[in-house]
Amino acid sequence: MTARMPMAREVVFAYNFAPFVDASAITAVKRVAARGEMVDVVSQDLSGLRTRDDSLYSMVASTIDRHFLLKGRVAFDSWESVAAFVQGGLESIARTGRLYDRAYSRSMWPHSHFLGALAKIRHPSTYWVAEFSDPLRRDVSGGMRSSAGVPKDLISSALNAGVPSDFQGLLSDNPTILNWAEFLPYALADELVFTNEQQRDVMIAEVEDPGLRRQIRGRARVSYHPIPDEKFYQGSVSSGLTTARRLRLAYFGTFYTNRGLGQLLEALSAIRFTGGLAVELDVYGEAPPNLQSAATILGIGDLIRTFSPVPYLESLRLQSTYDGLVLNDAHAIGFEGLNPFLPSKLSDYLGSGSRILALLSPGSPASSFGLEYAAKLGDVSSIQQVLSRLSNDVMRARPN
């Protein structure tokens, strides 16, 4: 007789979750994998919008008791979409008949926190952990995002009525979806998770009332993106043939030549034409159509290879086969000298065992990790110097 798996006492509210893949879904999966507890999951069917990746789901399949994959209109900033997810999520967990000990929700996508908030209101004894991937109300340039309004209906009225009185002004003064997606967790969550200290400080500073800020900070903690277990990097995979006299780098993700990576190409060209070790760069992900032509103009077209995005577990296995992995920082402006963005792929790179060529903004969250091969983002000379040092270290470590 097969033993019954333990019943989930935790529920995960993640609008974007495996088997659909994006940066937030990956982090949510890694949080579940790191805890190792049995969970129920409520997420959205993102067919047609996000790629399906069953390898990502396999990381947590054994710890998921029930997975409620909701249908319906998918829209980032639509009250109709938010309300449908909240209603469908509440009905799904009600059918289980369970009173959960713990709930976890994660943005980006604001829907998750709306469901977490109303579930908390209905079941106050459930310990609610709300995580923010990035600031919701402000974009990468520090500007305020435009956002649709929150109309008065049964769901919004229940949310407003369930918020402590000292927080109700935040909702009434800022009745938009993205404002509420930040302020509802501030008002109701037992624990607020930020991925880095600067993100925490930027977001909490948006609350004007010093008393409310103290309350929020008292429930806030910083938790970097989880590093996958080493078992997920294991397995046979090939990254192609190369020569022993070349340094092999890889970049995973969308390759933006205007976000510091154009200067990386210039540095690769400078090294080649000053007699240094040739450096190959493999790009896994979306690459701009002019990448190959830009590399050819710089005389390194034969050193750049582009590949379609690969399944998540395959990407981890590939990362451990390269001499170095390229990380580029976000160049944040408009945040009063702070940078609230920590690249989530850093945690994957750290687990790979490969060296990391990090193109960093001074004072950014990633710069606090003490990465050995760190160059200044956008500075060709700095990148060239660090690349040369990385090349020398790799060649010394290779067997003769």
What DSSP assignment string belongs to 76-139?
Answer: TT-HHHHHHHHHHHHHHHHHHT---SEEEEEESSTHHHHHHHHHHHH-TTSEEEEEESS-SSB-
pLDDT at 235: 82
- pLDDT of 258 reads 56
My answer on whether 186 and 244 are in the same domain is no
- Residue where one domain finishes, among candidates 187, 205, 222: 222
The whole domain housing 184 covers 10-222
The reply to whether 371 and 286 lie within a common domain is yes
In this prediction, residue 289 carries a pLDDT of 82
Chain center to CA of 248? 26
Residues 282 and 371 reside in one and the same domain = yes
Closest CA to 335 of 131, 195, 178, 138: 138
Does the residue 173 lie in any domain?
A: yes
What's the longest Cα–Cα distance across the chain?
72
- Kindly state whether residues 170 and 265 are assigned to the same domain: no
Residue 21 maps to a domain: yes
In a domain, 2, yes or no: no
**C-alpha torsion 239→242→248→251, nearest 10:** -40
Q: Please identify, among 175, 199, 222, the residue that sits at the C-terminal boundary of a domain.
A: 222
In-domain check, residue 292: yes
Integer Rg of the chain from CA:
23
Whole-number pLDDT of residue 2:
46
In a domain, 1, yes or no: no
Residues 127 and 209 in one domain: yes
**Cα 281 vs. chain centroid, distance in angstroms?**
23
Cα 265 to the center of its chain, rounded Å: 26
Return the pLDDT at 277: 77
| Per-residue pLDDT, 248 | 95
pLDDT (tens, 9 = 90+) of the chain, 400 residues, equals: 444 567 899 999 999 999 999 999 999 999 999 999 999 999 999 999 999 999 999 999 999 999 999 999 999 999 999 999 999 999 999 999 999 999 999 998 999 999 999 999 999 999 999 999 999 999 888 899 999 999 999 999 999 999 999 999 999 999 999 999 999 999 999 999 999 999 999 999 999 999 999 999 999 999 999 999 999 999 867 665 555 678 999 999 887 665 678 899 999 999 988 877 789 999 999 888 888 999 999 999 999 999 999 999 999 999 999 999 999 998 888 898 899 999 999 999 999 999 999 999 999 999 999 999 999 999 999 999 999 999 999 988 887 6
* Res 241: pLDDT: 52
153 and 235 in a common domain: no
Domain co-membership, 207 together with 325: no
What confidence score (pLDDT) does residue 400 get? 63
> Which string of DSSP letters, residue by residue, matches 210-254?
HHHHHHHHHTEEE-PPPPPPGGGG-S--------TTSEEEEEES-
pLDDT score recorded for residue 259: 66
Same domain, 215 and 239: no
What CATH number does the domain containing 77 carry? 3.40.50.2000
Cα separations (Å) of 78 from 40, 149, 157, 177? 26, 8, 17, 8
Note whether 149 and 295 are same-domain residues: no
Of 164, 194, 222, which marks where a domain is finished? 222
Looking at the fold, whether 85 and 218 belong to one and the same domain comes out as yes
Domain identity same for 213 and 237: no
pLDDT of residue 276: 74
Q: How many domains does the chain have?
A: 2
